[in-house]
Amino acid sequence: MRRPASHAADTATSRRAIPQVDRLLTSEAFQPLLAAHPRAVVVREVRSVLDELRRQVAPLEPGALSAEALRDRVAAGLAREARPYHRRVINGTGVVLHTGIGRAVLAAEAVEALAALAPHPQRLEIDLDTGQRGGRDEGCARLLQEITGCEDATVVNNNAAATLLLLAAVARGKEVVLSRGELVEIGGSFRIPEVMSESGAVLVEVGTTNRTHLRDYRAALGASTGLLLKVHTSNYRIEGFTAEVEIEDLVALGRERGVPVAHDLGSGCVVDLAGYGLPGEPLLRRSVAAGVDLLCVSGDKLLGGPQAGILLGKKELVDVCRRHPLYRALRPGRLVYTALEATLRLYLAGAAEAVERVPVLRQLTAPAESLLPRARRLEKLIAEVPGVSAEAVPCASQAGSGALPARDIPSQGVRVTSATHSAQELADALRTGDPAILVRLHDGAVLFDVRTLADDEVPRIAARLRELAEPGADLP
């Protein structure tokens, strides 16, 4: 529909009233901004604000063009630009290993190690006793030997890299036998068959989606077989009429036929979670004890460390992987080794100590009843916010990131509704604010699962909700 001529004239008049950049920069209102920020940064933001005003169709209010009003818009833009991309997020989702916000929260000991070493040179590839060059993975390798019983270990940047490296180093140009029920796809559409293709290995599928027997592996072995591979289906479950081959039986077949066996365990569980009321995950030590030749796991899932791919097993084959050209391209930097070493040391004192000190394990194993005081405290603080209702309710958490797939963990939460905003509007405002707060939407309400909240985050959540409840609060 054509707008009236008077509307167009008003719009043109208001656009002509938009002040020039130099006039704003010399105004008294802009001097504090120029004192606090580089001139070029302020100029860029001023031009951005003025361009946005010129694009507006509706006539501009005269007050919107004052130096003070434009200063406020520029200041808000500068504040947005100054916020780091990688910044703290409060996790109220109940997903302990949330890929979108970095998976495992590091233990205090790992954080302290990073703070102590990051500003300084550190030992990495030098033997301080002899002065000769050493291996950057030696410190972590020794700890993994003690924790798992393996002969040797090395570290790359994630578990997909570990899988790619072991396939390329051990089975390039050879056949790799794998159950059809283990052809997994991980986040970002990365699939085992595609990783195998990139490695130069040849996939040989055996069995069916729901049932694979030892005889299926045996029938697939031939002169071109280079590896028997078992992949833990850590991000889904197949139930009902199923059958899979235990790792001990697969290792026995490999030894009988002289074929190495590799196990991609994914989530990297060291502690038996079944003892804490959670579904049991395959343990690293079990696969090592079974005699697996190579085993790969993630560092930032159930292990609770930084993002890393851990490759361990027989020394001869670990060395083969170290000598492969891909190894140098896939190895991590010094800070990953620092954080991983500090995390691994927490397992030396036993499972109970690790559960207490590794945040991922502490969050996963916390009984639902132990979370109720935190939920009650959050409920009380939020209920004091005008126009907001809060109710402590039972809910269910998830491990996330492919760990303990499709398993609900009983938890406690707080259900929140607003008299003035929809649940989606409230969730959007929480997510885009400072601090950024992630929540779940459930039955028309915002839900905070307190399993993934720290005690000091409870008052921060209530304070943010109070800000959003104020008249004139700016919601997205």
Beta strands 202-206 and 175-179: pairing type? parallel
Q: What are phi and psi of 389, to 5 degrees?
A: -110, 145
Confidence band of 12 (pLDDT split at 50, 70, 90)? low
Domain map (residue ranges) of the chain:
5-82, 89-100+365-469, 108-357
* Planar angle of CA 64, 65, 67, nearest 5 degrees: 110
SS3 51: helix
List pLDDT tens digits, range 333-363: 999 999 999 999 999 999 999 999 999 999 9
List, for residues 210-232, the tens digit of each pLDDT value.
Answer: 899 999 999 999 999 999 999 98
The helix or strand, by DSSP H or E, that contains position 465, with its residue range, turns out to be: helix 458-469
pLDDT bucket at 239, cuts 50 / 70 / 90: confident
Q: Chain-centre distance of CA 34, in angstroms? A: 38
The two tokens of residue 340 are 């991983």
Cβ atoms of residues 423 and 445 within 8 Å = yes
pLDDT band, very low/low/confident/very high, at 474 (cuts 50, 70, 90): low
Name which of 185-194, 387-396, 432-441 the model is least confident about: 185-194
Residues in the chain: 476
Structure tokens at 227: 């590896």
Report the relative pairing of strands 409-418 and 388-397 from DSSP bridges.
antiparallel
pLDDT on residue 1: 44
**DSSP per-residue letters across 257-269:** HT--EEEEEES-B
CATH topology of domain 89-100+365-469: Aspartate Aminotransferase, domain 1 (3.90.1150)
Q: Which 3 state secondary structure label does DSSP give 457?
A: helix
Q: What is the mean pLDDT of the chain?
A: 92
108-357 has which fold? Answer: Aspartate Aminotransferase; domain 2 (3.40.640)
Tokens of 232: 């833990």
Tell me the helices (H) and strands (E) count for the chain, helix number first: 20, 15
Average pLDDT over residues 252-261: 97
pLDDT tens-digit readout, 135-150 = 999 999 999 999 999 9
Residue 267 CA to residue 158 CA, distance in Å, equals 11
By C-alpha distance, which of 191, 190, 187, 233 is closest to 212? 233
Rounded distance between C-alpha atoms, residue 264 and residue 233, angstroms: 9
Confidence of residue 470 (pLDDT cuts 50, 70, 90): confident
pLDDT band at 161 (very low <50, low <70, confident <90, very high): very high
> In terms of DSSP H, where are the helices of 200-246?
214-220
In 56-180, which residue ranges form alpha helices assigned H by DSSP?
Answer: 67-82, 108-117, 138-148, 159-171
Q: How far apart are CA 304 and CA 115, in angstroms?
A: 18
- Judged against a pLDDT cut of 50, whether residue 121 lies above it is answered with yes
Query: Per-residue pLDDT for 100 more than 90?
Result: yes
pLDDT at 92 exceeding the cut of 70 = yes
Query: What pLDDT, on a 0 to 100 scale, did the predictor assign at position 101?
Result: 95
User: Phi and psi dihedrals of 384, rounded to 5?
Assistant: -80, -10
